[in-house]
Amino acid sequence: MDAEKSHAAYMALHKRSSIFKRLIEDPAYQNQLVNEVDASQSTVYRGLKQLEDHNLVKRQNGMYATTTFGEIVYTQYERTDEIVQTFAESERLLETRQEIGTVLDPSVACDATTLVIGETRPDLVYEYLEEQVSEAAKISGVVPTVFSAMVDTYLTQVTENRLDAEFVFGREATEHVQTKLSDEFKTLLNTGNFEAYSYSGEIPMGVVVITEPVEHVLIVIHDDIGVVRGVIDSKNRAAVSWGIDWYSKHETDSTPLSLS
């Protein structure tokens, strides 16, 4: 199926999703659908014909049923719809000057919660992140900036041998650590439970992956570096895999963090 036909099938499903969703439950006659999807007979007739024309449904013994192709397309439609709805709810969060549009994987919007704060209450993000770190046993991340408020949490967790952590710091984060938090990070590195790397390029957003005890990925979105707008927290497996790959890619291109 070429791209134009695929798009047409997807749009037909989008327009007639109420009919298709009912048919997933059980095959039905046209008259049944008129009553059960609360639509006129002509609307149901046109919808069924459109779905049938795109091989999304088929007629069997006078009844309509979904095709295997239709069920597969509908599964993808539901995932896409969830992504669009999550991003729509977080539209203000995504209005940042950082270039995240081409690198933020859509899967992070699946099975996700968001915390949108703008520039008014950054402490809410710190509190949320502190809660997540306090519950984590294994964590890795790529961050453009360091939240000083979080350093004590990491110190407590790794010193008490309750957390293994690996981080790649962007240029500005590296400079901040080296000039303002050198002693704290020496202590962190000396525990043997904390590894840190320096990345010379720009990092558009914070990506923190917690793999134990519960897998999820935290996307910390900034306006200017240091001015946080909010967090997307996703437990979607594809999003977690993307976050792990994001870390691995940056760690490969980094050098161990040096402290004087």
92-130 pLDDT, tens digit each: 788 888 888 889 999 998 889 888 775 557 678 888 999
Answer for the pair 188, 196: CB distance below 8 angstroms, yes or no: yes
CA dist 57 and 37 (Å) reads 16
CA dist 33 and 234 (Å) reads 36
Q: How many domains does the chain have?
A: 2
| Structure-token pair, residue 92 | 């203000």
Tell me how many helices (H) and strands (E) the chain has: 11, 10
Answer yes or no: is 83 within a domain.
no
Looking up residue 223, the CATH number of its domain turns out to be 3.30.870.10
| Structure-token pair, residue 238 | 């594809």
Between vectors from CA 203 to CA 213 and to CA 113, what angle results, nearest 5°?
A: 40
* Residue 54 structural domain: 3-77
Identify which of 142, 149, 148 has the alpha carbon closest to the alpha carbon of residue 166. Answer: 142
pLDDT of residue 2: 64
Of 35, 54, 77, the position where a domain reaches its end is 77
Report cis status (omega within 30 of 0) of the bond before 213.
yes
pTM: 0.77
Q: Which residues pair with 44 in a beta bridge?
A: none
Could you report the per-residue pLDDT of 221-258, keeping only the tens digit for each? 988 766 788 899 999 999 999 999 999 999 999 999 99
Angstrom CA distances, 67 to 21, 29, 58, 73, 187, stand at 12, 16, 6, 10, 61
pLDDT of residue 226: 67
Answer yes or no: is 240 within a domain.
yes
Split the chain (260 residues) into runs of 10 and give each run's mean pLDDT: 72 88 93 90 92 92 92 85 81 81 89 76 82 94 89 93 96 93 94 95 93 95 80 94 97 94
Identify which of 141, 165, 143 has the alpha carbon closest to the alpha carbon of residue 154. Answer: 165
Same domain, residue pair 69 and 118 = no
Same domain, residue pair 194 and 101 = yes
Answer yes or no: is 220 within a domain.
yes
Same domain, residue pair 199 and 156 = yes
Same domain, residue pair 212 and 133 = yes
| Structure-token pair, residue 39 | 């639509």
Instruction: List, as one string, the DSSP characters of 106-164.
Output: GGGGTTEEEEE-TTT-HHHHHHHHHHHHHH-SEEEEEESS--HHHHHHHHHHHHTT--E
Answer yes or no: is 85 within a domain.
no
Same domain, residue pair 218 and 118 = yes
Looking up residue 71, the CATH number of its domain turns out to be 1.10.10.10
Same domain, residue pair 66 and 95 = no
Of 18, 45, 77, the position where a domain reaches its end is 77
Same domain, residue pair 121 and 246 = yes
H or E segment and range at residue 256: strand 255-256
Same domain, residue pair 109 and 237 = yes
